[in-house]
């Protein structure tokens, strides 16, 4: 849902390939390489750019499109997770049918603390709700509570060329850190699980950051490959309805805040795995700690403040954060801050962060103090997700020729 999701992680087919697809999905005759291009398309939903083709048949206008996303329960949820994913989810839940996942199975692909995984999972769920996810509009659940995620991942892995997985940049980066020979098989195959997270629910859209686009391309490629191998007339001959087994998911990229950078390096993404806590603002950081981190964050020696200067990555990052948490437009921030010094701007940013995060922290404390309520939310979310996923799994088992259990 980065490989820490936010599942959130995925790229689309190039515009030339989209034109070949036309208005409906056409089955591919052979595997195609991951393309690396990315083309902007019209806005879908407030504050989001949709990069998509009309790759599936539209349902009735009265049926909401479905959005699926998630975040790993590793470390503390930080400002990058919030501004790049969770805050945008809140804007989506009124427009779409939404499913938000705590992707705990992804959290075990790297060494982790078994004593902390459960607590981190409930903490993450509580923060989802504290940030504004409304369970009357959205389903919130834990990935491992719906076994169909792992089951579908295995079926998809049977149709995923190993060459596609070898191209995934996050595996290369993370396995290099772990040592290539010591990296787990799960780290290599997690893109198939991430694809299963999306395809299981016949997702129409997946909110992603600019740096996470490669994974949505893989999900699209796998969906089309499975549709070709097992769908259409082949499925119909086995007693199925025929047609596509999966919708082709499409990315939603927020126009601002899709990638929040480190406080210590404006060229690196804010990350849970960074060794220094100074590099990030955690959602539960105290007021004093936020002030201290902003005071000590890396800046530059240029005069004034400005967006979009490639020589000033830290400046662009901090102004972007201020724009989002203050609710101002880019133009308003530009005018307000263009002549400011860092000594003037940093307290302004710290105050804006504290004001924005304080209600979230207060709500989190209320939710975490009611574990029965949180358990109920997660149980009901998992039940709803399982209901949706079961349909996909029955279709997949039928189309792939499995002997069906008699009820």
Which residues are marked as active site? 174, 269, 272
Residues β-bridged to residue 282: 78
Residue 169, H or E segment: helix 169-178
* DSSP symbol at 266: T
Residues 189 and 195: their CA atoms lie apart, in Å, by 10
Residue 285 Cα to chain centre, angstroms:
23
Give me the helices (H) in 206-341, please: 213-230, 232-237, 287-296, 313-326, 330-337
Residues 386 and 384: their CA atoms lie apart, in Å, by 5
* CA neighbor of 203 nearest in space, from 237, 245, 250, 136: 250
Q: Give the 3-state DSSP-derived string for 189-236, with helices as H, strands as E and coil as C.
A: HHHHHHHHHHHCCCCCEEECCHHHHHHHHHHHHHHHHHHHHHCHHHHH
CB of 220 closer than 8 Å to CB of 32:
no
Query: Residue 262 contacts by C-beta under 8 Å, 6 or more apart in sequence?
Result: 268, 269, 270, 271, 274, 279, 280
Give the C-alpha distances (Å, rounded to integers) separating 315 from 141, 306, 328.
37, 7, 17
CA atoms within 13 A on the CB side of 302: 17
Instruction: Classify residue 306 by burial, with Cβ atoms within 10 Å: 0-12, 13-18, 19+.
Output: middle
| Structure token pair of residue 163 | 């060459």
Residues 217 and 235: their CA atoms lie apart, in Å, by 24
* CA neighbor of 86 nearest in space, from 124, 142, 131: 131
Helices 371-399 and 148-157 sit at what angle, rounded to 10 degrees?
30
| Structure token pair of residue 117 | 């995984």
């Amino acid at each position: 849902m980065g490989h820490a999701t936010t599942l959130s992680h995925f790229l689309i087919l190039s515009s030339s390939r989209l034109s070949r697809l036309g208005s409906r999905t056409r089955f591919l005759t052979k595997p195609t390489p991951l393309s690396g291009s990315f083309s902007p398309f019209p806005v879908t939903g407030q504050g989001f750019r949709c990069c998509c083709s009309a790759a599936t048949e539209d349902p009735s206008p009265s049926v909401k499109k479905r959005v699926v996303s998630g975040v790993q329960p590793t470390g503390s949820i930080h400002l990058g997770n919030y501004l790049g994913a969770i805050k945008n989810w809140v804007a989506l839940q009124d427009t779409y049918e939404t499913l938000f996942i705590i992707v705990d199975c992804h959290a075990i692909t790297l060494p982790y603390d078994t004593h902390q995984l459960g607590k981190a999972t409930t903490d993450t769920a509580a923060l989802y709700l504290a940030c504004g996810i409304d369970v009357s509009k959205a389903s919130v659940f834990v990935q491992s509570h719906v076994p169909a995620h792992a089951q579908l991942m295995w079926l998809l892995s049977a149709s995923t060329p190993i060459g596609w997985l070898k191209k995934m940049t996050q595996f290369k980066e993370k396995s290099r850190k772990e040592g290539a020979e010591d990296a787990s098989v799960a780290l290599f195959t997690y893109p198939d699980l991430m694809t299963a997270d999306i395809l299981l629910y016949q997702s129409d859209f997946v909110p992603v950051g600019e740096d996470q686009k490669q994974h949505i391309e893989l999900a699209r490629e796998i969906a089309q490959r499975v549709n070709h191998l097992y769908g259409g007339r082949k499925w119909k001959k086995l007693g199925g309805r025929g047609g596509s087994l999966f919708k082709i998911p499409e990315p939603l990229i927020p126009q601002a805040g899709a990638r929040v950078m480190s406080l210590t390096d404006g060229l690196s993404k804010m990350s849970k795995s960074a060794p220094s806590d100074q590099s990030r603002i955690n959602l539960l950081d105290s007021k004093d700690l936020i002030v201290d981190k902003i005071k000590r964050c890396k800046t530059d020696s240029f005069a004034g403040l400005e967006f979009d200067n490639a020589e000033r990555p830290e400046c662009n990052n901090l102004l972007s954060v201020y724009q989002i948490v203050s609710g101002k437009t880019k133009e308003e921030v530009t005018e307000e801050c263009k002549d400011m010094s860092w000594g003037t701007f940093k307290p302004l940013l710290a105050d804006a962060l504290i004001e924005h995060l304080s209600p979230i922290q207060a709500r989190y404390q209320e939710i975490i103090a009611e574990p029965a309520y949180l358990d109920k939310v997660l149980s009901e979310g998992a039940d709803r997700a399982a209901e949706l996923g079961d349909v996909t799994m029955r279709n997949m088992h039928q189309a792939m020729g499995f002997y069906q259990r008699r009820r």
